[in-house]
Amino acid sequence: MERNYIKRVYASIITIGDELLIGQVIDTNSAWMAQELNKIGVWVKHRVAVGDGWDDIWQALDEEGRRSDIILITGGLGPTADDITKPLLCEYFGGKMIMHQETLAHVTYLFEHVFRRPMPLLERNRKQAEVPDVCTVLKNTNGTAPGMLFEKEGKIFISMPGVPHEMKGIMQEHVLGLVKERFMLPFIGHRTLLTAGIGESNLAEIIKQWEEALPAFVKLAYLPSYGMVRLRLTASGEKDEVNTTLDAEFAKLQVLVKEYLVTNEDLPMEQVIGKVLLQKGKTMCTAESCTGGYIAHLITSVAGASRYFWGSIVSYDNSIKQNVLGVKTTTLQNNGAVSEETVVEMATGALAVTGTDFSVAVSGIMGPDGGSAEKPVGTVWIAAACQGKTATKKLSLRFDRQRNIQLTATNALNFLRAFVLENA
């Protein structure tokens, strides 16, 4: 069948700031912008980070202007001397700086009524309202530096603050709608599932024949993370055809990987366990040693978690394991804190303390030291419990401390998910 293609619209993202290059600040803006653009049918072709250097920024504008239809720029719009983006853009697009009265009124309102600063508005704060006369001003309701839209040779350039919540506000209030109005965008569809208990290579072998037979306009991506592999199907084109094809291929894929399937939605594990508990009408708690409350943090990062999550006991010291969770002294003496016997008693003790339907407990050695020949760094025990039943799992991790904690948390939540499904 002959297919009609809509021309792809490409975007580039330029993030500005020395702090990004030296790792002092992690660039989360680019990932968020790329996700939002992809949702509306824009393909991010290139992402580049540059320091606070005039020539580097200028060169990036030239290169990305040749590469993409939309160039999004974040950073360098603050009131200090190192923030050079605005004067550079003014020169780049051949304009002159003017005071934008609406922005000045907004800045004044923020300082006098929101920030409630006792001193008068500084000149450097007033300069936040200056913009090149060749731009369209995009109001920043969350801050002082406005967004600015420029056009050159059929391309649009949009400059926004680097502060994440300010950038997101401008994107949501102005940029995404403007892009949808300006360009004829193709429909982009995704289908994502999550697997556990199998490596990327072995997974590829299982689905090899199916993958080779995929239609040319459907792409498969392998996204391994924290001991699990996410599989994502992507296609673009006419909406009905894309959805019909993706649904058919996704159904085949789920059958092929059913033994390892965790969820057929693009959700993090903390949302997956929440959905399961809500569907079953059950509650849970955690008893954490080596993760120090990180599992509870993940769970409570999900809105509405209070409907199924009642609390956590962070038993980092053995005295808390004994005095709060009721772990026996003899259990600790004979088996140690990192043992199957200890996590079982932690999990059952947490049920008794909280009165929840299910619990998950973890104890391990995260590193970089503290291990032994018998229990090396990365040794972790997990236990899940409900009234009258427990199950355990041992992990042998091999990474740095932070990743070991993250892997333990993700594996613990997945282990609890399977336990709830089996016992609810």
Q: How many CB atoms lie within 10 A of CB 341?
A: 18
Q: How many CB atoms lie within 10 A of CB 352?
A: 13
Q: What is the C-alpha to C-alpha distance for residues 371 and 338, in angstroms, rounded to an integer?
A: 10
Q: What is the mean pLDDT of the chain?
A: 94
Q: Which residue has the higher pLDDT, 116 or 169?
A: 169
At residue 114, the pLDDT reads: 77
Q: Express each pLDDT in 244-271 by its tens digit.
A: 999 999 999 999 999 999 999 999 999 9
Q: Express each pLDDT in 338-350 by its tens digit.
A: 999 999 999 999 9
Q: What is the C-alpha to C-alpha distance for residues 233 and 222, in angstroms, rounded to an integer?
A: 9
The whole-model pTM stands at 0.80
269-423 — its CATH code? 3.90.950.20
The angle formed by the CA atoms of residues 192, 198 and 204, to the nearest 5 degrees, is 65
Average of per-residue pLDDT across 389-418: 96
Q: Express each pLDDT in 11-37 by its tens digit.
A: 999 999 999 999 898 999 999 999 999
Top CATH class, 194-263: alpha beta
Q: Is it the case that residue 140 has pLDDT exceeding 50? A: yes
Average of per-residue pLDDT across 122-144: 90
Q: Report residue 263 CA to chain centroid gap.
A: 18
CATH 3.40.980.10 corresponds to the domain 9-182: yes
Question: Domain extents for the chain?
Answer: 9-182, 194-263, 269-423
Q: Is it the case that residue 4 has pLDDT exceeding 60? A: no
At residue 270, the pLDDT reads: 97
Within 13 Å of residue 295, how many CA atoms lie on the same side as its CB? 35
Identify the burial level of 348 via C-beta atoms within 10 angstroms of its C-beta, where 0-12 means exposed, 13-18 middle and 19 or more buried.
buried
Phi-psi region of 309 (alpha: psi -120 to 50; beta: other; left: phi over 0): beta
Q: Express each pLDDT in 288-335 by its tens digit.
A: 999 999 999 999 999 999 999 999 999 999 999 999 999 999 999 999
**2 confidence band (pLDDT: 50, 70, 90):** very low
